């Protein structure tokens, strides 16, 4: 996409111009060479309108018009060398295609500018919903991964946050059911509520009730018939100052993984807690489970986009087996490896947003 202050043609990593960007020029040279060096009856010159048509897909308006002009003069020059080529018909085709290509280039650039503005808005929304990472709180290192399933997307309904509070380091990760702006709005409501409640509430159950209240207030803006379809899974984690244990409150979210001295443990809840937006239907009884921690332990929090990634045969990504094979000590390296292996496993065809938090206890 052409942006202000950037060169017209993008250079390749090795220095010169990108072959893709220069392909219209290369095509023009090849057609002219074939027209000059082959018998007149083959009439390769009639292919010259293809060059400005190709340029419209990647060049701005002025270079496209200039290339069309070059093709026109090439056609006139060839007609002098080889009379009877049907010059005026081909020249008319070059002019018509160049005009159409210039208009197509203009429309494409307008759409790219619009997409660029949309991306700016999405990036701004991302900074609001997803906290900046990495972070280090004392001896606890935290890093994050976010991958949108849609190629042009920046953010969806997955979310995470981390906060250093008087009660220890508290983490949140979750997934809003649905897509688009309503899901982003619901995620923002939950994350913003967590940023306040994590510092105020002495226990995770109180934090969960605050998240439930914020989620309900956001959902109240939608028609009642949509409420059944609007719920959010969430996972709350607390690592106290002593760093000798981890407390987990799971509201219908995939359980975190704890890798401790080569042994992997899945931190399943002892009793289910209600998903956000469903506490009024099934009760607001929240269960907090505690698990032992030792220095060097690694904790992985993730959304279901990770475990539901499929290979070409439809098999799910074996996250627990994958985690057992990891020996890196740094959260960033762990998440980079997860991203790489997910893309390889699914052949780049991720069907859902992915969010993950990696935590290392020092």
What's the pLDDT tens digit per position in 65-100? 999 999 999 988 888 887 766 678 888 999 999 999
Any residues with CB less than 8 A from the CB of 279 and at least 6 apart, and which? Answer: 209, 212
Q: Are residues 154 and 77 in the same domain?
A: no
CA dihedral for 189, 191, 197, 203, sign (positive or negative): positive
Among the candidates 121, 151, 184, a domain finishes at 121
The CATH number of residue 142's host domain is: 3.60.40.10
Asked whether residue 176 falls in the same domain as residue 102, the answer is no
Per-residue pLDDT reduced to its tens digit, 185-218: 888 899 999 999 999 999 999 999 999 999 988 8
Which of the listed residues 75, 101, 121 is the one where a domain comes to its end?
Answer: 121
- Position 40 scores a pLDDT of 75
pLDDT value at residue 263: 92
Q: Within 10 Å of residue 110's Cβ, how many Cβ atoms?
A: 10
Q: What is the pTM of this model?
A: 0.71
On whether both 90 and 63 belong to a single domain, the answer is yes
Residues 296 and 231 placed together within one structural domain of the fold = yes
Structural domain contains residue 82: yes
Q: How far apart (Å, rounded) are the C-alpha atoms in residues 256 and 172?
A: 11
- Write down the pLDDT at residue 149: 64
Positions of the chain with pLDDT under 50: 1-15
Domain shared by 80 and 171, yes or no: no
Give the per-residue pLDDT at 124: 66
End residue of a domain, out of 121, 154, 170: 121
On whether both 205 and 111 belong to a single domain, the answer is: no
Q: What is the largest CA-CA distance in the chain?
A: 91
Number of domains in the chain: 2
Q: Are residues 183 and 301 in the same domain?
A: yes
Domain with 258 in it: 131-361
Assigned domain for 72 exists: yes
289 and 151, same domain (yes or no): yes
Contact 301, 359 (CB under 8 A): yes
Residue 283: predicted pLDDT: 79
Q: What is the pLDDT of residue 7?
A: 42
Residue 11 lies in a domain: no
In a domain, 31, yes or no: yes
Structure tokens at 291: 């698990």
Q: Are 76 and 160 found together in one domain?
A: no
């Amino acid at each position: 996409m052409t942006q202000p202050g950037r060169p017209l043609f993008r250079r390749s990593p090795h220095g010169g111009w990108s072959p893709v960007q220069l392909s219209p020029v290369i095509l023009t040279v090849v057609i002219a060479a074939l027209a000059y060096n082959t018998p007149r009856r083959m009439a390769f010159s009639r292919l010259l309108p293809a060059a400005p048509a190709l340029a419209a897909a990647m060049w701005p308006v002025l270079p496209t018009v200039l290339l069309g002009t070059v093709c026109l003069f090439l056609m006139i020059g060839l007609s002098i060398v080889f009379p009877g080529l049907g010059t005026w018909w081909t020249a008319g085709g070059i002019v018509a295609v160049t005009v159409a290509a210039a208009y197509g280039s203009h429309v494409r650039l307008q759409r790219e500018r619009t997409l660029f503005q949309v991306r700016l808005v999405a990036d701004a929304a991302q900074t609001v919903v997803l906290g900046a990472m990495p972070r280090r709180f004392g001896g606890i290192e935290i890093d994050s991964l976010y991958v949108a399933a849609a190629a042009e997307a920046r953010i969806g309904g997955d979310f995470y946050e981390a906060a250093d509070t008087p009660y220890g380091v508290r983490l949140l990760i979750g997934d809003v059911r649905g897509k688009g702006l309503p899901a982003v709005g619901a995620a923002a409501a939950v994350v913003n509520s967590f940023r306040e409640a994590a510092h105020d509430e002495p226990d995770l159950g109180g934090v969960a009730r605050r998240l439930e209240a914020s989620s309900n207030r956001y959902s109240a803006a939608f028609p009642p018939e949509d409420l059944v379809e609007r719920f959010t899974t969430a996972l709350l984690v607390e690592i106290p100052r002593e760093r000798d244990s981890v407390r987990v409150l799971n509201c219908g979210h995939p359980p975190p993984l704890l890798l401790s001295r080569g042994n992997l443990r899945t931190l399943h809840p002892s009793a289910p807690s209600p998903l956000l937006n469903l506490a009024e239907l099934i009760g607001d009884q929240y269960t907090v489970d505690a698990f032992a921690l030792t220095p060097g332990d690694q904790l992985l929090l993730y959304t279901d986009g990770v475990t539901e990634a499929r290979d070409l045969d439809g098999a799910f990504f074996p996250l627990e087996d994958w985690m057992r094979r990891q020996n890196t000590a740094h959260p960033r390296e762990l998440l980079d490896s997860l991203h790489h292996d997910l893309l390889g496993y699914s052949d780049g065809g991720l069907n859902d947003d992915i969010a993950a938090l990696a935590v290392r206890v020092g």
